[in-house]
Amino acid sequence: MITPVILAGGIGSRLWPLSRKLMPKQFLNLTSSESMLQQTLTRLKGLKCGNAITICNEEHRFVVAEQLRSIDSLGKILLEPVGRNTAPAIALAAIEQLKQHKDAVLLVLAADHHIEDVSAFQQQIELAKKWAEQGKMVTFGIVAKTAETGFGYIRAGKALGESAADKDDMSAKCFAIERFVEKPDLATAKQYIESGDYFWNAGIFMFKASRYLEELELHRPDIFGACKSAMANTKSDLDFIRVDNDAFTQCPSDSIDYAVMEKTSSGVVVPLDANWNDVGSFKALWDIHDKDSDNNVHQGDVLSCNSSNNLVIAESKLVATVGVSDTIVVQTKDAILVANKDNVQQVKNIVQQIETLNRPEANIHRQVYRPWGHFDTIDVGSRDLVKRITVLPQHKLSMQKHQHRAEHWVVVSGTAKVTRGEEIFLLTENQSTYIPAGVVHSLENPGKIALEIIEVQSGDYLGEDDIERFKDDYGRA
């Protein structure tokens, strides 16, 4: 049985303003109607896989839980108190899985990859599983067709096994790893492609949980020890497993490539030719999508005149282009990005500028997700703020109060169950209520459809940190 381990960390700053710290690319519907996290799991259907272990941070835990629930994906969600790169994250999952299955085979996947040919992908997983069960440390090498400077490379050594004799069938082969290579310059990358001996390093792995921990203890005993200590005192919280904060904070940060795969003598690479893409930039997003007759990719309300080779994404407004080529235009509710397609790697520099200025656009979207639903900040004044709040069926906000603001609630659709001080009452469409500052209150959706309300806040301080919680279904402090 295969246990998928989904690494759902990362920010995806090169896809700003779509991807932001609190809602990064792996949770967005960039390439289909499902998020990239959901696609990562659904493309495993048909394989003999057990429940997945998804690893994420505290800030994303409710987004992960809701997205997994919506595709009926059962499994564990491991919470990292701090980011320590991939080697420790995988160690946590390996230790957790060994509690149930002594010979568990882990399939380690990033939550933000696009793989078009699912059949070819599954075929190579089955091949890799045979080697993993023999104790090999397997990585998947993307069959490289173009010289790319943004990826690391793997140089393949001797072909292994009975399939090695079939030189024409790359999909049936497995190779010893000769060495890993850092991101090359363009001339070197071209040499790699021409030689036929190199694969792109995709960061997909497969091995027994026990073998990974053996190799980690051998090569990085400091990481192994810290992770073992962190998993010795875990706590279950709703859908989540919390590791020991103090122990894990002491863990060194390192990738699985440096910590284990570059050092092990048991490493092998299985070729993967499945139209893989890491969706690391808007250029990659343009590559993936179907084009119109002018080679444009348009999403949302977009008009075009004499424009070609563009990616234009309109989230909430009409976007029109005239005489524009090789350009990226991304409109969200609170930001607009315009970039030359050849310079999209520099988008992360804009994010750094935004962070330096302490602006919120680097971290959050105008629409903010919560475990009970989401809210969209429609308008902000000096002493007033307007939100559209959506509460999912059978969910409720925490019992809370605010010291500095009062709130008016108007129900747009659905039914609201309101607690205001000692009162409990229902509101339906077009009905409203007023919550004075300092009054304990709560909002609940007892119905079967989403509850939408307009909230008007007024007061001398309107920050999200003016919340004193008394009771919360989601364990938030």
Per-domain boundaries in the chain: 2-277, 282-352, 367-471
Q: Are the beta carbons of 304 and 312 closer than 8 angstroms?
A: yes
Closest CA to 454 of 435, 439, 424, 432: 432
Closest CA to 282 of 13, 7, 8: 13
Give the pair of three-digit tokens for residue 202. Answer: 């995709």
The CATH code of domain 2-277 reads 3.90.550.10
Closest CA to 14 of 146, 112, 118: 112
Q: Are the beta carbons of 428 and 415 closer than 8 angstroms?
A: yes
Helix (H), strand (E) at residue 227: helix 221-231
Secondary structure tally for the chain: helices H, strands E: 11, 30
| Spatial distance between the Cα atoms of 315 and 18, rounded to a whole number of angstroms | 9
Strand partners of residue 154 = 180, 199
Closest CA to 147 of 185, 103, 203: 185
Q: Which amino acid is at 375?
A: F
**In CATH terms, is domain 367-471 a member of 3.40.50.300?**
no
Helix (H), strand (E) at residue 123: helix 118-133
3-class DSSP state of 434:
strand
| Spatial distance between the Cα atoms of 90 and 148, rounded to a whole number of angstroms | 27
| Spatial distance between the Cα atoms of 392 and 446, rounded to a whole number of angstroms | 9
pLDDT tens series, the chain, 477 aa: 899 999 998 888 999 999 999 999 999 999 999 999 999 999 999 999 999 999 999 889 989 999 999 999 989 999 999 999 999 999 999 999 999 888 899 999 999 999 999 999 999 999 999 999 999 999 999 998 888 888 899 999 999 875 544 545 555 689 999 999 988 899 999 999 989 899 999 999 999 999 999 999 999 999 999 999 999 989 987 779 999 999 999 999 999 999 999 999 999 999 999 999 999 999 999 999 999 999 999 999 999 999 999 999 999 999 999 999 999 999 999 999 999 999 999 999 999 999 999 999 999 898 888 889 999 999 999 999 999 999 999 999 999 999 999 999 999 999 999 999 999 999 999 999 999 999 999 999 999 999 999 999 999 999 888 999 999 888 776
Helix (H), strand (E) at residue 96: helix 86-98
Closest CA to 476 of 8, 27, 61: 61
| Residue 384 main-chain phi, psi, to 5 deg | -145, 155
Give the pair of three-digit tokens for residue 245. Answer: 């904060």
